[in-house]
Amino acid sequence: MKKVIVRFITYLTVLMQGFSSFAQKITLNEAIQKGIENRIELKTQALNIQIANSENDKIKAKWLPQVSANGDVRWNTQLQTTVLPFALPGSSESQTIVRLGRPFNNTFALQAEQKVYDANKKIDRLVNDTQTEAQKNTLEQQKINLKQSITEAYFSAVFNKEKLRLSEIALQRANAYLEAAQVKFEQGTILKNDLDKFSLDVSNAKLAQTKNVQDYELSLVTLQYQLNTNDKAEPAEDLTSILNYSQIVDNQANTDKRTEVKAEEINLRLNELNLQKQKTRNLPTVSAYGNYSAFQIADTFNPFASGTWFTSNYVGIRANIPIFDGKQAKLSSQDFLVRQKINQQNMERLRNDFNYESKSTWNTLQQSKLNLEEAKKNITLAQQILDTDKFRFEKGVIVISDLKNSEYSLQNAENQYLSSIYNFLVASVRYKKASGNL
């Protein structure tokens, strides 16, 4: 039995050491930074921001001169016939039939147009700037959600790692008690039933150890997924060290800074701008234009024949003044007014939700803090009881089962303390997000 237990402990130790030998040690801040660098959705959102930024360049391009050239090489296989309602002098006919043009008619033209005035230009730029801001806000929201996910995954990995360490100690303790019990059984001082109790303790400790190994490995897989990396990683910190720099002493609610509220504020501004844009639809647009053309009329196809090419050119200013659009602008304006009301109501609802969430998570955090302080006191008390029972056991006042119970009480207190730290840290990060401070 002793050999089996030793082999089991050795196997688990080698397994965890083998994993640690090629796993990268990483702190919480390093994990967050690595996740932000690696996550695909953040890279995709950065491209969306790039697309949004390019929209202003498109607006600028629309105000550059628009120049086009065209050419037309035409062979009139049958000239158009025109009937004049009179006869030519010396003709006996009552009308005259004529065919205009030449068989070959070639034209080349250069057209240029430049916008002079368009009331939508400024609004379009503001709309694009606001849409870019919306994309940046989405990126920030994704980062906050990712930061929370990575942080909680990191806490879980640290928690399971320390649970595994405590279960290793518990297994060694149970094995030591079993060895001592076997000696006493061979000496005839305890019964077989007492020996079986110690064997059962070892079996339960082995099961707990196996489960903790599996939980720890699963938490490392989860952390690796959150970091979006193929490299193995494990926490370089413990819960106590994280606790030292994660204390929250003040209730500082900044719910107005929540990205969800900001998203509604941006949508409100967009709808206000779109409403202004509808009002400018009926304003005139002015453009300047110019044209230079060259055309050839000839009996034969010879582009280089002299005296067959003629030129013309013109410049002008064009004004386009909308008169009636079928009430489209008016109807669209009404829609954007309703959307603004929706945005305002959503902002009010989100603020109420986040204020409640902030208060709720703050209360949870305070309760977790009280539980943590109580668990810390329990460890101190359990350690004092164990020290006393060790002395009493050495003096023969109590039996080994009593000492074992005291050690189990300390073990339970340690597990409760770990759980309390973990719950406090998780409550802290959730409060930070709820209050707009993450």
Residue-wise pLDDT tens digits, 167-180? 999 999 899 889 98
Predicted local confidence at residue 301, as pLDDT: 85
pLDDT at residue number 255:
86
**15 lies in some domain:** no
| Residue 90 pLDDT > 90 | no
Q: Is the pLDDT of residue 8 over 70?
A: no
Quick one: pLDDT at residue 6? Answer: 47
**Exposure string for 33-58, b = 16+ CB within 10 A, e = fewer:** ebbeeebeebeebeebbeebeeeeee
Distance of CA 277 to the CA centre of its chain: 31
Chain CA centroid to CA 438, Å = 14
Average pLDDT over residues 337-351: 95
What's the confidence (pLDDT) of residue 249? 65
pLDDT category of residue 202 using cuts at 50, 70 and 90: very high
Q: What is the pLDDT of residue 146?
A: 96
Q: Spell out the residues 6+ positions from residue 84 whose beta carbon is closer than 8 angstroms to its own.
A: 95, 96, 97, 98
Q: Which of 382, 371, 388 shows the shortest CA–CA distance to 413?
A: 382
Residue 300: count of CB within 10 angstroms of its CB: 9
Is residue 156 situated within a structural domain? no
pLDDT higher than threshold 70 for residue 19 = no
**80, amino acid identity:** Q
> Range with the lowest mean pLDDT among 92-106, 221-235, 268-282?
92-106
- CA quadruple 138, 144, 149, 153: dihedral sign: positive
Q: For residue 3, is it within any domain?
A: no
147 vs 91: which has the higher pLDDT: 147
Q: In which band, very low, low, confident or very high, does the pLDDT at 13 lie, cut at 50, 70 and 90?
A: low
Q: What is the pLDDT of residue 7?
A: 53
DSSP 8-state symbol, 89 = T
24 belongs to a structural domain: no
pLDDT tens digits for 52-87?
A: 999 888 888 888 999 999 999 988 888 888 887 777
Judge whether 367 lies within some domain: yes
Contact in structure between 101 and 75 (CB atoms under 8 Å)? no
User: Any idea which of 9-13, 41-45, 56-60, 223-227 has the lowest mean pLDDT?
Assistant: 9-13
**Tally of CB atoms within 10 A around 22:** 8
What's the number of domains the chain is made of? Answer: 1
**37: confidence class by pLDDT, cuts 50, 70, 90:** very high
Q: Is there a contact between 273 and 130 (Cβ–Cβ < 8 Å)?
A: yes
Q: Residue 396 domain-assigned?
A: yes
CA distance 348 to 9: 58
Q: Is residue 342 part of a domain?
A: yes
Q: How confident is the model at residue 212 (pLDDT cuts 50, 70, 90)?
A: very high
For the whole prediction, is pTM greater than 0.95? no
Residue 425 lies in a domain: yes
User: Domain range for residue 332?
Assistant: 244-282+322-438
| Mean pLDDT across 280-286 | 88
Q: Decide: helix, strand or coil at residue 307.
A: coil
